Amino acid sequence: MSVLAGAGTLFRKEILRFWKVAFQTVAAPVLTAMMYLLIFGHVLEDKVEVFPGVGYTSFLIPGLVMMSVLQNAFSNSSSSLIQSKITGNLVFLLVSPLSHWAWFAAYVGASIVRGLAVGTGVLLVTVWFAPPAMAEPWWIIIFATLGAGMMGSLGLIAGLWAEKFDQLAAFQNFVIMPLTFLSGVFYSVKSLPGMWQTVSHLNPFFYMIDGFRRGFFGASDASPWLSLAVVSTGFVVVAAIALRLLASGYRLRT
């Protein structure tokens, strides 16, 4: 029997779960990103030029797209698990013959789909303000997919660890949000003082944002190959932890 048997059914269930409330799970994040663009773009468009010939609004759009991808990929897997725990319907998955590989593939796969759906929505809405150049589009696809996969895996870990929404909210507010906002979404890390540049380079979210932005402008603060190495390693490590926790049944049967 394949270790992924049943993964397709659980994957479809997870897709339907967020798609049935798409106004909340897809449209709302798109609106939030547009508000960021309108406010920061209007205020800083004529005052900041990060890359030569690239306006601030154009610079900001890829950061907002990737931020939306990461946050929503994390939210999808983490919120699904904690809801199943609290409502008690997790028992129906526990009695099924699903392997931990099937759980991982379904939850992370659905997280990638939601992250990319929201990111695409943000890009389509913001393209009217500043059409993207997409100088090296392969980096866009690679970093969006790897980033969403990494955050979907991290969402699994958070969902397994949390036993109530308060704990999950704390994880989001004190870990995900600070790392996201301090990753260079709204600025170039080269504009920071030396010490803070060093600190920023310790943030894995920086490499996801910077590598993704490279695909639009062909310019970045760090080498895209270094970013790819960091993000790929981060994904493998986080995925391995998530798989180990799923295999052990960590906080699933308590």
Assign residue 192 a region (left: φ > 0; alpha: ψ between -120 and 50; beta: otherwise): beta
Q: What is the pTM of this model?
A: 0.93
Rounded CA-CA distance 61/45 in Å is 12
Please indicate, yes or no, if residue 60 is contained in any of the structural domains: yes
Burial class (CB in 10 A: 0-12, 13-18, 19+), 132: middle
Q: Which domain holds residue 31?
A: 7-248
Residue at token pair 């129906």? 92
8 A C-beta contact, residue 90 and residue 252: yes
User: pLDDT value at position 49?
Assistant: 64
Please indicate, yes or no, if residue 28 is contained in any of the structural domains: yes
Please indicate, yes or no, if residue 2 is contained in any of the structural domains: no
Q: How would you write 30-76 as a 3-class SS string?
A: HHHHHHHHHHHHHHHCCCCCCCCCCCHHHHHHHHHHHHHHHHHHHHH
Closest CA to 249 of 105, 90, 111: 90
Please indicate, yes or no, if residue 152 is contained in any of the structural domains: yes
8 A C-beta contact, residue 57 and residue 45: yes
Please indicate, yes or no, if residue 26 is contained in any of the structural domains: yes
Domains in the chain, number: 1
Please indicate, yes or no, if residue 235 is contained in any of the structural domains: yes
Please indicate, yes or no, if residue 1 is contained in any of the structural domains: no
Closest CA to 178 of 198, 157, 199: 199
Residue at token pair 């090296």? 136
Please indicate, yes or no, if residue 141 is contained in any of the structural domains: yes
Rounded CA-CA distance 114/63 in Å is 17
pLDDT tens for the 254 residues of the chain, in order:
577 878 999 999 999 999 999 999 999 999 999 998 888 777 666 666 667 677 788 888 999 999 999 999 999 999 999 999 998 888 888 888 899 999 999 999 999 999 999 999 999 998 888 777 788 999 999 999 999 999 999 999 999 999 989 999 999 999 998 898 888 888 888 878 878 888 888 999 999 999 999 999 888 889 999 999 999 999 999 999 999 999 999 988 75
